[in-house]
Structure 1
């Protein structure tokens, strides 16, 4: 039935299917994406319409979970620099919160760099207090992934204490899924990032965390979704230096469906070793709410994993 809906829309709108590969696949805002038998289908939102979108996304099917996702807000009370409009992230987050409230979320995840660097600990804590006040009003159940900017001026203990989160990497179960939050803010020598003691191009998952990850994956019986900041699917400056080692653990478990990440500020999707790596667009880039980006992850028994993107964030439906 799902494939028939896609073929019907494709036929009526004269759209073409695009072969899917393991290379990066970027989808422009305003489109719906479907993966069927190794092919990525793009359907324009204007063609489908509100009622059609609801039907294609299985609005009547029993939902397991709805998860709000935002990343790279870089909030700071300072003037824009290049394409980054730091102050505007507060209003962009307010809009995202209003959208998230339309249907209840099971939990909310911030994928790193919620704040930008300040010249003092006191100023940085004030940035964090301001943006987290807005963020914390969206959902009671919240999770914060550490980004390099989160600990540019602060220590991990200072950041985590301010957002009332006990650990920087951990796991939890919800709705029949197992979720893992990773922390790649460590130097190659294992030293934790803090107070400008690192280069942003040297992120690593240390030995102790790798050992914990392997044990955590072994003990769960559920399908797994991972949340990270620095990317695990690339080897450039935005990638975790020992990403191949992390990916090997994820693949060997045979349990991981999807990894969400931020850091490079752009929409991107790769499939490596049977695992989807979905990079979400940054909220800080560009002026005005139209240049924002946020999404809702929807998990259902009857349909693919679905990411509903808003503003600049792309949509995905992933098997």
Structure 2
């Protein structure tokens, strides 16, 4: 089968399009015909070796953790899915080797949920990792409740845009930091936008003089410190970007593959509470360009790679 792989750490130039090994389908796995796979910042961080201390690597590596597609073979111990089912998945294992940027992926059943019926494959591919990150931080780490005020950083990005929508669904007032060109986008998600950068703390305090009940840091560094300073006396803090959050009494979070949580996200999408904005799509063979765009750090919503099956399916 065709796919993307890399045999050493490095920049986007190490990504190669070509033949990759066919996946074997274990008893607790599902063979998925990939229609789309979203790019996340963790993909290029893995590619450059930043996670080498915590994840074993078996080269060559097929990158990617997000997927949407169609079940073509359930494992022998999998009654949950049947051939033809449309699914989404956060297909992360505890090592790097068998990713989603390929024509097929053997996904552990614990990583999958049914695809939202109202989302395209491209939109649905952007939901798993970013959505699980946002959901698990807001619901499980920060325990956001109705009537509270939540500060979300990078509110126009992949995780941030979903966090704004989920927090609004939970009944919270959401303050979202974003560049001014993204303020209307954040408003459309239900958040109150504030410009990031110098003077951020003053701008947030003008909106919430008593401090925020919860802050969701996606950037780290000075932004994390500012978030801690903006908390109300009993406020809670979580970060997905900087372990220094622990020194402020906060939670350091990393998304966990959880079929139940992913199913809840899929239902929120079908109810219209959550949508996925796709900034740009790339064909599978141009995954390196998708990585380059992701590394620029100015993405609105998600970047998605697609697998074009049209030519093959049209062949008699």
Higher helix proportion, which one? Answer: 2
TM-score, length-normalised on structure 1? Answer: 0.26
TM-score, length-normalised on structure 2? Answer: 0.26
